[in-house]
A = this chain, B = another copy of it.
Amino acid sequence: MPADRTKEASSFSLPDEFTFIRRHFLSLAGPGALGLTDDAAVFAPQPGREFVVAADAMVEGVHFLPDDPAGTIGRKLLRSNLSDLAAMDARPFGWLLTLACPKNDGRHDEAWFAAFANGLAKDQREFGVSLLGGDTTSTRGPLVLSLTILGDVAPGTALRRNGACDGDGLWVTGTIGDGALGLKALLGEIPDPTGWLTDRYRLPRPRVGLELAGIAHAAMDVSDGLAQDAGHLARESGLGVRLDADAVPLSDAARAVVGTDPARLALCLSGGDDYELLLAVPDDATERLQARCARGGVPVTRIGRFDASLSGVSVCRADGSPFPMDRLGWSHI
C-alpha cells in the first residue's frame, strides 16, 4: 500500500471544523463551555433561581441583508434573544449558536468570521453573557443562524404575557419603527442622513435589567409589529386593547421620515424589528415604572390601555377615530 496512506491512518490532525471553532469562537467561551471540546456544556445553576430559556433563528435575506456587516449579524440575533429574556424580566448568562453556512461562496471567509466573532465579543462584554456551545455545518442555501439563550430569574417573578388586567396602561420602551424604517433605508427607499435608522435595524437595544417584576402585570418584546404584538398581550390576557397610534414614541429620525404620512406611521406600527418591551402596567405603578426605566436610561411611554369591553387590538388616532392599517405585523412562515 502507498506509504502516505499508512502515514495518514496513523497520524492525526484536527479537521477544519475544529480549528475553525478554535480560531473564531474559543475566546467567547465561558467556564461551563469546557473549552468547546466536549459534547455539551456543564454548569451549576445559581441556587434559588428559576431557569429561563429561549431560541430564535435568523436567515440571510429574511432577517438581515446579505451585505450587512459581519460584525452586526450575530449581534442582532444575540440581541433579539436577549430581548426575549428581558421580556420575562430574566437575567441572561449564556448562549449557544448553530451556524449553517454557505460553503466557498466567496463571502463567508476567514475575515468575515473574524468580524462576526468580534462583534459577538463586544456584546458579550456589554451584556455579561458567555458562549456555552453550538455547532457549525454547511448548507447550499443562505446563511442560517440559530441561537439559544439561557438566563435565570427569581422564582415566580418571570413576567408573562397573560397577566394584563382590565384598565392597565399599555406601555412601550424606547422608540418604535426605527428597525422597519432602517430596512427601507438600506433598500434605498427612504433617506437616513444620520444612519440612526440603519443602526437600529442592525443593532437593536434589548432592554435587559429593568427589573419590572412587581410593576408590570404582563410583558413581551416587540419583534413582529407593535400592533400585532399588543394584540398578543391582550389575547393571552383575555382582554382587548386600544392602541393610540399618535402616542407611539418615534425617534427624531423616524419622525422626520414619517411626517404626516399615515402609511409610514402604519409601517412603524406593524414593521417589527423593534425589540422594545411592551408592558401592561396598572396606573398605581406608573411612577415606579417610570423610575425604574429612568434608572436604566430607557424612555417609556404609555400608548394605550387594556379594555375588557374590546376584542383584539383597536388602533386609533388621538381624536378617537380608527387608524387604518393594512396589516398589524409579520408572520414568518
Residues of A within 8 A of B (CB): 1-2, 5-6, 8-18, 20, 32, 34, 37-45, 49-59, 61-63, 83-85, 87-88, 90, 94, 96-101, 103, 132-142, 144, 146, 148-151, 153, 155, 158, 160-162, 220-221, 224, 227-228, 231-232, 234-236, 311-315, 322-333
Checking B43, B162, B227, B333 against A16 with a beta-carbon cut-off of 8 angstroms, the contacting residue is B333
Closest chain-B Cβ to A237's Cβ sits at a distance in Å of 11
Contact A140 B137 (CB under 8 A): no
Copy number in the complex reads 2
Contact A333 B101 (CB under 8 A): yes
Contact B137 A40 (CB under 8 A): no
11 contacts between A and B (CB under 8 A): A2-B324, A12-B235, A39-B83, A40-B52, A41-B53, A45-B51, A57-B135, A58-B137, A135-B332, A138-B333, A139-B144
Closest chain-B Cβ to A160's Cβ sits at a distance in Å of 6
Cα A82 to Cα B16 in complex, Å, equals 25
| Chain A, interface SS category | mixed
- Beyond A9-B315, A146-B146, 6 additional pairs, beta carbon < 8 A: A15-B331, A16-B333, A20-B333, A38-B161, A55-B97, A57-B99
Contact A62 B139 (CB under 8 A): yes
Contact A220 B38 (CB under 8 A): yes
Contact B327 A56 (CB under 8 A): no
Contact A40 B99 (CB under 8 A): no
Q: Which of the listed residues A15, A49, A146 has the most CB atoms from chain B within 10 Å of its own CB? A: A146
Contact A39 B84 (CB under 8 A): yes
